[in-house]
Structure 1
């Protein structure tokens, strides 16, 4: 499904474009930049390359701030990672949940990695390390509400461009969150676990990431049926990691990062510059066991 820009955003972008084009001394480069801005005002950062999406850090300097569980309701606090730049306007945001018995430290590597590419990222702790997926889903949404309404960086976040990720129980929770809040722009469950195997209600573009060696949430009974049950009309993809386990998402992983980033950029930022890494479908490799998906995206 094509995610259209709001009429207001498009109008504002076109106005900015015209203002630049009419400015004295405007050059061809200005014209190109203005046209790109008018087409998509949400693009952040330079044009991507394979090297840039695989890099441990992107073009933005990043700061972080801790959020105490004592100051929030609905989830257990966490850490917000955000680009320090204020010259590019607001950024899309992603909340990420850990898995069963785990804390935010288990998914902390994703915070600066994604934030440095132009997102505000909230890695959260949950109310209990034993929370089930439906609770994790509610907590992801509570974290996004805090991030956009009360956090110290709320002015840096575009509340209309939000996504969710999660590992294991948190991955199952990201599906629950997408089901509950269709306005989410992207969901990325990482070796997700959930007793609910079917998700025909989801309308949020979803990248399901499984692992070929997962014995906790085997792909045959979790990630694959999750993916297959998503509507055929939905922008969706299934990435099965090669030589990986259930806990591979708990440490820095280039394959997880590059495809998660490309998915978030494509659907939270509507940045079609990243579609080249998702379509045509990536082929099996040393790190990819299998990749399925809908191409072209956004059609």
Structure 2
């Protein structure tokens, strides 16, 4: 059943969406929503009202089902899509906050459950790709999605799975591992623009042995970035977090939607602050 979540609507008039579309489409057909501002990417909800639908594990194959969040209106055409995996022993509830937050900015978002909560990163990577295939080919919202504009995210082992998925499917437009964990530390094969998010206080996947070598191993010619959260832990991505949201939104918009309006939030590189321990990356971006 489709559940319209009217409470997720913003105060912006619906007419503003349709009035801006022709001008935006002339420059970049994938641009969605009004011009971004620091407050708009930090907001708990963005421009679009959001609806959601549950996907039973019994109706899919190869992963554990999940919840799809999507912009309610179809006035702006199709949207890019993102699949998100939870971490070891966790379910989709641990990353559910990202669903409406990203969808309200103009994406179809699929927070998934894995086949078992103990699945390793390579399995989670395959499940993310199967979830995207389901989303674009069989789901009730497939008509709202541009199947050429897809990305993956994940927490912990789901973050490790995000790297596995990007390695396996170079056509992905964006990848964001959140305090990722993987035995494999080297990812020179990845061709997908990748934002690595680590936490300075992570004792489960310490940045020195996970996020930092992940980032350093990515090709130097790749659009890549490393965001280390300040005063954060391995489980920081499991609750609503403005810093994770604002840079994830900017990264997804920049590379899934090719929306250069968001380049301003990524370049010049963000400086250390009360929420950012360190930020590295290549600027300007080429993608």
TM-score, reference length from structure 2:
0.92
In structure 2, the CA distance between the partners of 1:42 and 1:131, relative to structure 1 (3 Å rule), is: same
Kindly indicate whether residue 20 of structure 2 is the aligned counterpart of residue 39 of structure 1. no
What's the Cα RMSD here? 1.1
1:232 aligns with 2:220: yes
- The alpha-carbon deviation at position 79 of structure 1 amounts to 0.1
Structure 1: runs of 5+ lacking an equivalent: 1-29
1:219–1:298 Cα change, 3 Å: same
1:255 aligns with 2:243: yes
Structure with larger Rg: 1
2:206 maps to 218
Structure 2 unaligned blocks of 5 or more: 1-18
In the alignment, structure 1 residue 285 sits paired with structure 2 residue 268:
no
Superposition pairs for residues 9-20 of structure 1, below 5 Å?
A: none
2: CA distance between counterparts of 1:262 and 1:58?
12
Distance 1:80 1:54 in 2: 22
Residue 94 of structure 2 corresponds to: 106
Residue by residue, what CA displacement relative to the aligned partner does 1:52-86 show, whole Å, maximum 9, x if unpaired?
Answer: 00000001000000000000001000000000011
Residues 1:295 and 2:283 aligned together: yes
In 2: Cα distance, 1:90 partner to 1:212 partner: 38
Q: Distance in 2 between matches of 1:254 and 1:33?
A: 27
Instruction: Name the residue aligned to 2:178.
Output: 190
Match of 2:167, SS state, is helix
Q: Find the counterpart in structure 2 of residue 9 from structure 1.
A: none
Per-residue deviation at 1:39? 2.1
Q: CA deviation at 1:37?
A: 1.9
Which of 136, 151, 175 is the equivalent residue of 1:148?
136
Question: Residue 160 of structure 2 corresponds to which residue in structure 1?
Answer: 172
1:66 is matched with 54
Q: 1:204 aligns with which of 192, 200, 205?
A: 192
Moved over 4 A (4+): 32-35
Distance 1:113 1:50 in 2: 15
For residues 92 and 156 of structure 1, the distance between their equivalents in structure 2, rounded to whole angstroms, comes to 9
Q: TM-score, structure 1 length as denominator?
A: 0.89
CA distance in 1 between partners of 2:50 and 2:184 (Å): 37
